[in-house]
Structure 1
Amino acid sequence: MPVQAFMDGVDDRQRDDLESTLTGWWKELFRAVKIGPDEDFFMLGGGPVLAETIRAKVRGKYRVDIPAEDFYDARTIAKMADYIQIRQASAESWCIVPIRTGGNRRPLFLIHGIGGNVLGFFSLVKHLPADQPVYGVQAQSLQPGAKIHVSLEDMAAHYVREIRRLQPHGPYAFLGLSFGGLVAYEMARQLLAAGETVGLLGMLDTWQPSYMKRLPNPGSLPVRVYQRLRLVWLGMRRLNLPHKMIYLRNRLRNRALRVFYRYLAARGGGKISESMKSVRDINWIAGIQYPVLPYAGQVTLFRATGENDWRLPQDLGWGAVAAGGVDLHPLPGDHGQVLAEPNVSLLAEQLDACLQRISSDVRMI
């Protein structure tokens, strides 16, 4: 089931009808008698052709497009229903998604990862106290026809403007997922420069990119080329010939798009046709080109400990730029498991403790 507070203002019957319609489509495609709300589309045998059939049905009935790159995130009935309602709820403001609007605490803003949407945060919000308002910040580049910010600084400035319409003054509380941690970092820097306060600059397994660039390279050029080609081979070895061609075409297209986005970033952004838009690649270019400057406050880092790299310090390089130091919270599992059970329960517990500390500090002032 979806996060209850996200359903503020959404009719329960409307949600039931949505899930019922999606379930009917899935049963028809998979010729199944019963499909539960949490069954995985791909585990049921779904592939690109069936995914496109579902996407077309969603576009036709709900006027919501689920890009192919987002379909994996929306691969269950419940998550697909969440995705549709997020896109419908954010029709006026594409960036700010009201996940939970009730409660008397200061709101928590969850900043999207490289994929651009905020679906992955729903499991986290379920574990936070009911009186904690939560808003998702999804990628502005998801909005059809809008000017695209390829510079991370411009992206952050846009999100800050949208957030301040909802919360004009601080202290602000942010948690950014991976790439979103970089965006939250720049948002915090801009707010401090504007004379505002940031109570929580939270990062969920975010590596400091300028530190990463200084690390010793793990292999020579031939070794790195071999590893890259091996990844391509692993990605396509089980595909049939038509799907191999599609896979290679998509890889080449993404490479070409990244070159185009670099050019666009140098020009200060602009409008991109929907056929030329790849949210992941836009964010990837924004991340690698972001010049990390010092931050006067503290970084709160929730770090996955399952993927230890001998080249990285425990603080993932943030201690070198955060004047207020790094408040480190280790989490079990690897990067892809931080928002999955049972790790997400521990994350919610640690995050809530940080948010309560901010509230106490505000009352003392």
Structure 2
Amino acid sequence: MEVVLNNTQIDYPKGKPLHQLIEESAQSYPGNVALTFHHTTFTYSELNVTANRLAKELIARGAATGKIIGLALDRSAEMVIGLLAILKSGAAYVPLDPEYPKDRIEFMLDDSGASILLTSKKYKGHFASNTIEVLIEDALEASKNHSTDNPTVNVTGADLAYVLYTSGSTGKPKGVQIEHHSLVNIMLSFQKKPGITPDDKVLAVATISFDIAGIDLYLPLTSGAQIILADSITAKDGRALLDIVRNQGVTILQATPYTWRMMLEVGWDDYLPIKVFCGGEAMAKDLAERLVPRSKEVWNLYGPTETTIYSIIKQITDANDITIGWPVDNTQIYILDEQKNNLTNGDIGEIFIGGVGVARGYLNRPELTAERFIDNPFASGEKIYRTGDLGKYKPDGDIVYLGRIDHQVKVRGYRIELGEIEHNLGKQEGVKQAVVIAREDTPGIPRLVAYVVLESGQTGIPEKSMLDNWDKALFEVLPEYMMPDDYVLMDIIPSTPNGKIDRKALPKPDYSHINRDGEYVAPRTSNEKLVAEIWEELMGLEKISIFDNFFQLGGRSLVAVKIMARLEQETGKRLPLATLFEYSTVEKLAARLEIDAEAITWESLVPIKPKGSKMPLYIVHGAGLNVLLFNALAMNMDDEQPVYGLQAKGLNGVDEPLDVMEEIAANYVDEIINHDPVGPYAVAGYSLGGLIAYEMAKQMLAMGKEVKMLAMFDTYADQTQKYDSKLKRVIDDSWTLIKQVAYTPVLFLEDPKRTIEYKSREIGRRIQKIFKKLFPDKVKKKESFAAYTNEIHERSLAAQKNYLLTPVNIEIELFRAKKRTFYMDDFKFLGWKPYALKGVRVHDIPGEHNTIFAPPNDKQFAEVLQKCLDEAAAR
């Protein structure tokens, strides 16, 4: 059986580098669309020419055969062009997903010895390394001076194509070295089976830090087919992916079982003429049962990074007969026992892989390379890779995958070395021992559980402060997918008779208590009861409190998709998946995205205190529609501190007010840059004006401008409700009122007089709002200034309602009013923490929301603000 199974030898162009196959595609299909990203399209000819020119620019900057170049770019057409250009330059690349922790990326750059980092203006100076930083925008502009022909660099199939880092059992990632000829072999093999033609459209969703991205990008490009590149947000949204497949004629999609389940949970019930490539982790029977009748073909793909993406593939036609199949071209599979005997009789053993796909080894890790890449006992002079996976042969020669031998696991499609999590958790203060396992107590919902022994001997449920500290520390060094879902404190870790950790004896966590905020509070309304019941069913938990946090309960995007789909089924209301980022408790989700009725106001540049030698501060106003409020603040700042305000366009009653957040921001950015073309810049916003300041900073960073400080003056990060119905908004307003009333006793104890005043005005405002909606004909129309300020109010409200907050690589200085006068979902960070990737620094300032600029509060506010400005300018 072994001879038949491993008789996979076939001639292939071993001496060709991968990019030569792509160049041949460009010659054969010059007018075919090669790449689409949003509204940007490249033909094969355009893509090849652009990559050629960029490659020559990289060569001029030091790229060469034997060199390693790091690539840290957001998912975009430029990302693909950058990868091709590096290959064409003769260098090898290290793919770096900018969403990964900064420390992890910096380790990869240093460990790989990368001489150049190809990145964008967005990440300029962000990663500390010994590389020469090349900005893609500058390099592409400079590359226009180069010729369009293919570079004449001598690159062979034996040269390195990339170094891809995988999770490491010793606590540090390890770099897998893949040569060109290995990639050429897998592409040519895949062209035949599963098969691809120049007419195919491939939806690419895998991060470039995941080796399967090689199939997403290079299989279509070596075949004359089209790549439809999904951005990072779309790639995580099952509904968005399904829409693209249906609307753009996608014929091939490669994804992990996790992603396929997301798509199935959002209503994929019809047949789609698509080839399903399913890899990354084992295919379950129930998943196959759902995929087979809905798609043209279903392929189960298996292979570790160390053997070049995939080594064994199988078309699945029967969910009762799931195997990983047969090896791809020029690949040999052996199932061996501990004595390296080949188990061709159906006994269970470890899967070893040989052939041209076997990597060069781990970069700078000779001992680990020697351990995992051993001499092939069946072919002298060759190496085979020990996968650590268990498998067996079926009588017909197919291979059945049976899980891991060691403690490396696959969770949510990612290969995870549990030892890396244990290593980093064990370094935390007070931790004596840490063991992490993957559990699936609820079928289809795997959870990473950390069992911790403390030096103090404490057992049971960890304190919230302890959990917060661990999560914060781990998130700095580990990707999100490696974060433990649950923690259990133990007095001792169970062991087997021979002294090894008995992982099977680790207890099931008490999911009714872990990661809960405070005591259990039962649902109070029908909506809360509905949401709580759905969470309990789909998350496999009991007695979820209305204040429990979805993510602290271990919630992930797959179960989020199920929750949103069920809510839509039960209520008829379709909520964006991102709702759970901001409305992450039962209470908040049941409230359906409340929205503050205050208008966002913006206007032209106004000099408040224009003289001074320090870095100017530009402040966007809130609902008052002018900048007079900032005068006292500015006057209390240093004599050399210039301050400018931004007022809403249209206050003069002549200009047309803007109603799109991005356009408003772009208008103000233009005014600021026209006033000061060089920078650096400090931008701030008060109340809802902080949202426009946030978008301004985002646009400035994208332009390569240096934003030294982004400040929020008591601004809450409200998220859009643009897809909600009028009825839902009425319901949300009513529920908001209920929450505010419920919080009133707390406010009353702090300041009875002010609470009565504020609540009375708030109730009157809401009654007036309801009256206007019910009896619009009886509302007296405003005239003159009041009329167009009202129009600005309405336009600003439209801009806010349609503005989608997305994370930005920036730090926010949050100036938070000490005195609370109304209920907020997040009193600590005012909702900004998910959006400021570099963190939120909180500064408490005296007063309440409406009095932080009033004497005597303005003086203390100015002192704190000036100190922050000076620190920012000095950085």
Superposition TM-score, scaled by structure 1 size? 0.57
Q: Of the candidates 265, 271, 286, which is equivalent to residue 799 of structure 2? A: 286
CA contact (8 A) 1:302 1:330 kept: yes
Distance 1:207 1:158 in 2: 23
Q: Deviations over 1:93-118 (max 9, x none)?
A: x7111112211112111111122210
SS in 2 for 1:137: strand
The letter of the residue matching 1:305 is: K
Is the counterpart of residue 252 in structure 1 residue 772 in structure 2? Answer: yes
1:143 alignment partner in structure 2: 652
Identity, % of aligned pairs? 34
Distance 1:255 1:188 in 2: 41
Distance apart, 1:353 and its partner CA: 0.4
1:194 alignment partner in structure 2: 703
The letter of the residue matching 2:609 is: R
Distance apart, 1:249 and its partner CA: 10
Q: CA, structure 1 residues 131+289, in 2 after alignment: closer, same or farther (shift >3 Å)?
A: same
Q: CA, structure 1 residues 218+296, in 2 after alignment: closer, same or farther (shift >3 Å)?
A: same
Q: CA, structure 1 residues 250+141, in 2 after alignment: closer, same or farther (shift >3 Å)?
A: farther
The aligned length equals 239
Distance apart, 1:255 and its partner CA: 9.8
1:296 alignment partner in structure 2: 809
Distance apart, 1:142 and its partner CA: 1.2
Query: Once structures 1 and 2 are overlaid, which stretch shifts more, 286-295 or 308-317?
Result: 308-317
Any residues of structure 2 matched to 1:257-276 within 5 Å, and which?
Answer: 275=787
CA contact (8 A) 1:114 1:283 kept: no
Q: Of the candidates 129, 139, 155, which is equivalent to residue 638 of structure 2? A: 129
2:595 alignment partner in structure 1: none
Is the counterpart of residue 96 in structure 1 residue 605 in structure 2? Answer: yes
2:624 alignment partner in structure 1: 115
SS in 2 for 1:328: strand
Distance 1:231 1:309 in 2: 15
1:160 alignment partner in structure 2: 669
1:317 alignment partner in structure 2: 831
Distance apart, 1:250 and its partner CA: 11
RMSD (Å), alpha carbons: 3.7
Distance 2:768 2:868 in 1: 45
CA contact (8 A) 2:714 2:817 kept: yes
Distance 1:97 1:277 in 2: 18
SS in 2 for 1:97: strand
Distance 1:254 1:119 in 2: 35
Q: CA, structure 1 residues 350+185, in 2 after alignment: closer, same or farther (shift >3 Å)?
A: same
SS in 1 for 2:850: helix
Distance apart, 1:286 and its partner CA: 2.1
Q: CA, structure 1 residues 220+142, in 2 after alignment: closer, same or farther (shift >3 Å)?
A: closer
CA contact (8 A) 1:118 1:138 kept: yes
SS in 2 for 1:156: helix
CA contact (8 A) 2:720 2:802 kept: no
Q: CA, structure 1 residues 277+311, in 2 after alignment: closer, same or farther (shift >3 Å)?
A: closer
Is the counterpart of residue 333 in structure 1 residue 842 in structure 2? Answer: no
Distance 2:840 2:762 in 1: 39
CA contact (8 A) 1:144 1:274 kept: no
Distance apart, 1:233 and its partner CA: 9.7
Any residues of structure 2 matched to 1:168-247 within 5 Å, and which?
Answer: 168-210=677-719, 220=735, 235=764
Distance 2:720 2:772 in 1: 29
CA contact (8 A) 1:114 1:284 kept: no
Where do 5+ consecutive residues of structure 2 fail to align? 1-602, 723-731, 743-758, 777-784
Q: CA, structure 1 residues 310+166, in 2 after alignment: closer, same or farther (shift >3 Å)?
A: closer
CA contact (8 A) 2:606 2:645 kept: yes
Distance 1:221 1:359 in 2: 40
Any residues of structure 2 matched to 1:37-116 within 5 Å, and which?
Answer: 95-116=604-625
1:260 alignment partner in structure 2: none
Q: Deviations over 1:28-66 (max 9, x none)?
A: xxxxxxxxxxxxxxxxxxxxxxxxxxxxxxxxxxxxxxx
The letter of the residue matching 1:327 is: R
Distance apart, 1:130 and its partner CA: 1.0
Distance apart, 1:313 and its partner CA: 4.2
Q: CA, structure 1 residues 233+288, in 2 after alignment: closer, same or farther (shift >3 Å)?
A: closer
The letter of the residue matching 2:694 is: Y
The letter of the residue matching 2:701 is: L
Higher share of residues assigned helix = 1
CA contact (8 A) 1:145 1:274 kept: no
1:358 alignment partner in structure 2: 872
Distance 1:212 1:332 in 2: 32
Distance apart, 1:192 and its partner CA: 0.5
Distance apart, 1:170 and its partner CA: 2.6
Distance apart, 1:234 and its partner CA: 5.8
Q: Deviations over 1:270-296 (max 9, x none)?
A: xxx984551333323322321101111
Distance apart, 1:316 and its partner CA: 0.9
Where do 5+ consecutive residues of structure 1 fail to align? 1-93, 237-246, 257-272
Superposition TM-score, scaled by structure 2 size? 0.25
Distance apart, 1:147 and its partner CA: 2.4
CA contact (8 A) 2:721 2:801 kept: no
SS in 2 for 1:329: strand
The letter of the residue matching 1:346 is: Q
CA contact (8 A) 2:684 2:690 kept: yes
Distance 2:611 2:635 in 1: 14
Distance 1:149 1:220 in 2: 30
Q: CA, structure 1 residues 309+101, in 2 after alignment: closer, same or farther (shift >3 Å)?
A: same
CA contact (8 A) 1:205 1:301 kept: yes
Distance apart, 1:137 and its partner CA: 0.9
Distance 2:737 2:865 in 1: 43
Q: CA, structure 1 residues 251+125, in 2 after alignment: closer, same or farther (shift >3 Å)?
A: farther
Q: CA, structure 1 residues 331+142, in 2 after alignment: closer, same or farther (shift >3 Å)?
A: same
Distance 1:134 1:222 in 2: 37
CA contact (8 A) 2:720 2:803 kept: no
The letter of the residue matching 2:680 is: P
The letter of the residue matching 1:337 is: T
Distance apart, 1:140 and its partner CA: 1.1
Q: CA, structure 1 residues 285+322, in 2 after alignment: closer, same or farther (shift >3 Å)?
A: same
SS in 2 for 1:130: coil
Distance apart, 1:341 and its partner CA: 1.5
CA contact (8 A) 1:96 1:137 kept: yes
Q: Deviations over 1:180-220 (max 9, x none)?
A: 1111000000000111111110110000112999xxx7975
